C-alpha cells in the first residue's frame, strides 16, 4: 500500500459548497489507468483529475480526467480546478498577474491562463477546441418526454442540435425558467431514444435567468457517464456559447461574452464565463473561465493494483 495526497476544490464558484466539486491527485505518476478509474468511481464526483509530467517539452502538465464510468478526452471544471490547486500549491508559479500554461489532455494541448484579480482571487480560463456542429434531433416529442415536459415547453424557433468542442452534447432550448425548473430526467426514455445517438449528454437551457448578469440558465444530464445531473459543465459551456452565436442569440460580432448559470436546482450555484471570438460567420476562439474555492485535502492508502 502507498499513501497518496488528494485535494477537494469547488469549481465555478467563489464559496464553499457551491459550484462543481473536483477530487484532484497532484502526483499520479505510479497510478495505473485502471486504478484512476476505480478511484473516480470511489469518490463518485462528476469528475476526478490526475496530474502527471508532460509528454512534450515546454508543456506544463498532463491531466487525465475520469468520470465514475469512463475517461474523458477533456473537461472544463477539472481543467479550471486543477490549475487553481496547482497555483495554490505553487506548482504553477504566478510570477506575473497573468500566467499561461499548457495542459496535455486527451484532445491535445489545452491553453490555460491564470489571472490575479484585484481582490487577489484567481480567475482561470481555458481555451477549448473549435466547435463542430453535428446532427439535429428531430423527434422533439421524445425530447419533451425525456425531460418530463410538454412539447410546448421547448423553444419552437430553435433546433435540438449536437455541438462539440471536444465532447459532444445535445443542446435543448427551452422556452422559460419554469420549464427548466420542471425537468425530471427519465432514464427509461433516455435508454430508448438517446443511448445510441451521436451525443448522449443532454444540455437544456433557457435565455430566461434567475441571476442578474447571467445570459442563460442551464442544466446538464449525462447518464452514460454515471452523472445524473452536473452542477457546472465547462466542456458543454464552450459549445453552448457556439450554439448561441451560431443562432444569433447573443450580442457581439467579433467577441460575444456570455454567462451561464447552472446548478441552481441542485443547490450548487455555478457561474461560467464564456467568450466566443468570430470573424464573419466563422468561430475562431472558444474560451470558458471561472473562479474556484479550495475545500480541503487529505491522503489515502492506495494499492499498486486492484
Question: Rounded distance, CA 73 to CA 123, Å?
Answer: 23
Strand partners, 282: 279
Q: How many CB atoms lie within 10 A of CB 42?
A: 12
Could you tell me which residues come within 8 angstroms of residue 281 by beta carbon, excluding any fewer than 6 positions away? none
DSSP 180: H
Question: Rounded distance, CA 60 to CA 163, Å?
Answer: 28
- Selection from 196, 100, 205, 104 nearest residue 147 by Cα: 205
| Alpha helix ranges (H) inside 186-265 | 187-193, 234-246
Structural contact between residues 164 and 132, judged by C-beta atoms closer than 8 angstroms: yes
C-alpha grid cell for residue 273?
Answer: 464565463
Task: Answer left, alpha or beta for residue 221, where phi above 0 means left and psi between -120 and 50 means alpha.
Answer: beta
Structural contact between residues 238 and 273, judged by C-beta atoms closer than 8 angstroms: no
Name the catalytic one among 10, 34, 42, 47.
47
Give the SS3 label for residue 243: helix
Question: Rounded distance, CA 161 to CA 169, Å?
Answer: 8
Number of alpha carbons in the 13 Å side-chain half-sphere of residue 129:
19
- Indicate if 152 belongs to the active site: no
Helix, strand, coil fractions of the chain, as percent rounded to 5:
20, 40, 40
Q: State CA 229 to chain mean position distance.
A: 12
C-alpha grid cell for residue 234?
Answer: 465547462
C-alpha grid cell for residue 159?
Answer: 433546433
Q: Which residues are catalytic?
A: 47
Amino acid at each position: 500500500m502507498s499513501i497518496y495526497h488528494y485535494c477537494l476544490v469547488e469549481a465555478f464558484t467563489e464559496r464553499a459548497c457551491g459550484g462543481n466539486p473536483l477530487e484532484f491527485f497532484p502526483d499520479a505518476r505510479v497510478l495505473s489507468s485502471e486504478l484512476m478509474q476505480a478511484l473516480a468511481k470511489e469518490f463518485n464526483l462528476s469528475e476526478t483529475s490526475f496530474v502527471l509530467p508532460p509528454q512534450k517539452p515546454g508543456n506544463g502538465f498532463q491531466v487525465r480526467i475520469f468520470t465514475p464510468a469512463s475517461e474523458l478526452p477533456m473537461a472544463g471544471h477539472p481543467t479550471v480546478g486543477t490549475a487553481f490547486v496547482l497555483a495554490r500549491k505553487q506548482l504553477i508559479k504566478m510570477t506575473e498577474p497573468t500566467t499561461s500554461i499548457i495542459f496535455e489532455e486527451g484532445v491535445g494541448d489545452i491553453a490555460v491562463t491564470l489571472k490575479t484579480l484585484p481582490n487577489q482571487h484567481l480567475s482561470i480560463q481555458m481555451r477549448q477546441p473549435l466547435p463542430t456542429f453535428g446532427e439535429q434531433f428531430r423527434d422533439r416529442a421524445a425530447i419533451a418526454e425525456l425531460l418530463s415536459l410538454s412539447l410546448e415547453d421547448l423553444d419552437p424557433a430553435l433546433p435540438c442540435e449536437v455541438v462539440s468542442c471536444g465532447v459532444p452534447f445535445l443542446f435543448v432550448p427551452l422556452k422559460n425558467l419554469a420549464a427548466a425548473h420542471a425537468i425530471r430526467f427519465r432514464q427509461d426514455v433516455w435508454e430508448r431514444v438517446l443511448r445510441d445517438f451521436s451525443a448522449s449528454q443532454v444540455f437544456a437551457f433557457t435565455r430566461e435567468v434567475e441571476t442578474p448578469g447571467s445570459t442563460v440558465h442551464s442544466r446538464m444530464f449525462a447518464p452514460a457517464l454515471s452523472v445524473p445531473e452536473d452542477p457546472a459543465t465547462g466542456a458543454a459551456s464552450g459549445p453552448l456559447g457556439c450554439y448561441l452565436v451560431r443562432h444569433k442569440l447573443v450580442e457581439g460580432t467579433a467577441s460575444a461574452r456570455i454567462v451561464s448559470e447552472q446548478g441552481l436546482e441542485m443547490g450548487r450555484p455555478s457561474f461560467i464565463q464564456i467568450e466566443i471570438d468570430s470573424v464573419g460567420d466563422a468561430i475562431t476562439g472558444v474560451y470558458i473561465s471561472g473562479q474556484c474555492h479550495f475545500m480541503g485535502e487529505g491522503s489515502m492508502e492506495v494499492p499498486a493494483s486492484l
